Structure 1
Amino acid sequence: MKNTLQTLDRGINALELISKAEHGITVAKLAEELEINRAIAYRIIATLEDHGLVVRSESGQIHLGAAALMYSHRFLPQLRSRAQPLLEVLARKAGATAFVCVAQGNKGCVIMVEESDAGILRVGYRVGSQHPLSQGAAGIAILSSREPSADEPEMVTQARKDGYSLTRGHLQAGAVGVASPIKTRNSESLLECSIGVVAMDNLDTKNAIEAVQHTARQLAEQLGI
């Protein structure tokens, strides 16, 4: 049996419920969802308010506060520090440009790139590069980590089944991309990112797929997600 702190556990569960409520949630509804009395729910909310993690509107609805966004921003540097050495190994093993891509709205944004020493031809994939999630291995891998939808592209469905996405010529003529989502234990996690490699036509896709999937598992384990 886990040795957990009940009050902290309730506070974390409250934050999760509040984050899912697009238009906010009342204290009464929160108490009902947590299966606790309203007095305890009010104390939890008051504590979270003191730390800026939630705010209460004039109508009494509870919403996430600015401090929650601050913590999410602080996570990115930790992601970069954990991913950097793994990315270096991945680029070397695959003989290709390795990258980490995160979802920003309906686009994928490259936040890390590590070039390989192998080969002369390099792909124009740089930090800050953006593209629709529906194009390129990185974006398709991210979409595959979401719940299935009836109108999703076939490539997304296939990537979810395979555990990786393989694309050719999506973002640059002759470029081959392989990417795998960073899978979380919580399917509703706000973290949506992928790790992968991209190179020109001579990419050893079998080797790249194995290396990318292995690195994705390593990064997820190190981040504890």
Structure 2
Amino acid sequence: MSTLQTLDRGLRALDIVSRSPAGISVAELAAELGVHRAICYRIVATLEAHSLVARTDSGRLRLGVGAAVLSSRFEPQFLHGARPVLAELADRTRATAFVSVAEGDECVVLMVAEPTDTVLRVGYRVGSRHPLHRGASGIAILALRPPSARDSEAVRQARRDGYSVTRGQLERGAVGVSAGVRTAGHAPERSVGVVAIDGMDTDKAAEAVLDAARRLAQLVTS
């Protein structure tokens, strides 16, 4: 069976990046593919143009949000099942609920649900992004990764607890509680969480968020 060499290399590159949770350099990727670095740069540029890979601040390659979009389209159970889970989480905690995904060194909001019986809400929109190391959602994703000497105390604490709690990191007076969604493989890296004005019962919110994270993981793996 004949194949298109360039497409084959691009798909292999995407697979290699997906199996590199700490990111991979262009030189390392070229070596894995067995191609000249100049060819690898063109492959990476094409994947970047479609948001399938993204660069960290150090220049290493990680999966981009485009890969998460494709993955979500491939997982109709997640698409259809996540919304009621989020809606129930929002009403259970009386806070804005959301699912986020890692894109390079940033955390991007993919889905949002608002509580039905609360007037005062924290605005959070799909497409919002912030650094992974700030905010409960990003810290929860970092806590899913293998331990590293570079981990902050917040990430270590989230790994111990199974969830992250932050106060005022992204918006003054806002409290966020998030847990990573554990699934097989390295991509996409997701978290689910809630955010509300200070005064939220974080213990109850953590219980609800952990329950939602387990349910979302089942949507992907079942």
Which of 179, 191, 210 pairs up with 2:207? Answer: 210
**For 2:116, what is the secondary structure of its paired residue?**
coil
**Aligned-partner Cα distance in 1 for 2:218–2:136:** 22
**Aligned-partner Cα distance in 1 for 2:142–2:187:** 13
Match of 2:4 in 1: none
Match of 2:197 in 1: 200
User: Could you give the per-residue CA deviations for residues 97-145 of structure 1, whole angstroms, max 9, x where no partner exists?
Assistant: 0000111111101111100123322112111111111111001001111
Equivalent pairs: percent with the same residue? 44
2:133 paired with 1:134: yes
Match of 1:184 in 2: 183
Match of 2:23 in 1: none
Q: Structure 1 pair 140/202, CA: closer, same or farther in 2 (3 Å)?
A: same
Kindly indicate whether the alpha-carbon contact (under 8 Å) linking 1:196 and 1:212 is maintained by their aligned counterparts in 2: yes
**Aligned-partner Cα distance in 1 for 2:68–2:126:** 20
Q: Structure 1 pair 208/16, CA: closer, same or farther in 2 (3 Å)?
A: same
Kindly indicate whether the alpha-carbon contact (under 8 Å) linking 1:106 and 1:132 is maintained by their aligned counterparts in 2: yes
Kindly indicate whether the alpha-carbon contact (under 8 Å) linking 2:96 and 2:115 is maintained by their aligned counterparts in 1: yes
2:81 paired with 1:74: no
**Aligned-partner Cα distance in 2 for 1:102–1:72:** 7
Kindly indicate whether the alpha-carbon contact (under 8 Å) linking 2:89 and 2:212 is maintained by their aligned counterparts in 1: yes
**Aligned-partner Cα distance in 2 for 1:174–1:155:** 19
2:104 paired with 1:108: no
**Aligned-partner Cα distance in 2 for 1:76–1:17:** 17
Moved over 4 A (4+): 14-21, 56-59, 63-66, 69-72
**Aligned-partner Cα distance in 1 for 2:33–2:126:** 41
Cα RMSD (Å): 3.0
**Aligned-partner Cα distance in 2 for 1:136–1:15:** 31
**Aligned-partner Cα distance in 1 for 2:218–2:187:** 17
**Aligned-partner Cα distance in 2 for 1:86–1:109:** 19
**Aligned-partner Cα distance in 2 for 1:199–1:132:** 19
- Structure 1-normalised TM-score? 0.69
Q: Structure 1 pair 142/222, CA: closer, same or farther in 2 (3 Å)?
A: same
Structure 2: where are the runs of 5+ without partners?
1-11, 20-27, 53-65
> Counterparts in 2 of 1:48-127, with a 5 A limit?
73-77=69-73, 78=75, 79-127=78-126
* Aligned-partner residue type, residue 124 of structure 1: G
**Aligned-partner Cα distance in 2 for 1:180–1:110:** 14
Aligned residue-pair number: 180
| Displacement after TM superposition at 1:74 (Å) | 2.7
If you compute each CA radius of gyration, which structure gives the higher value, 1 or 2? 1
**Aligned-partner Cα distance in 2 for 1:121–1:179:** 20
User: Could you give the per-residue CA deviations for residues 165-212 of structure 1, whole angstroms, max 9, x where no partner exists?
Assistant: 0011111111010000011234xx121110000001121212111110
| Displacement after TM superposition at 1:72 (Å) | 5.4
Match of 1:220 in 2: 217
**Aligned-partner Cα distance in 1 for 2:131–2:13:** 30
2:18 paired with 1:22: no
Kindly indicate whether the alpha-carbon contact (under 8 Å) linking 1:82 and 1:223 is maintained by their aligned counterparts in 2: no
2:146 paired with 1:147: yes
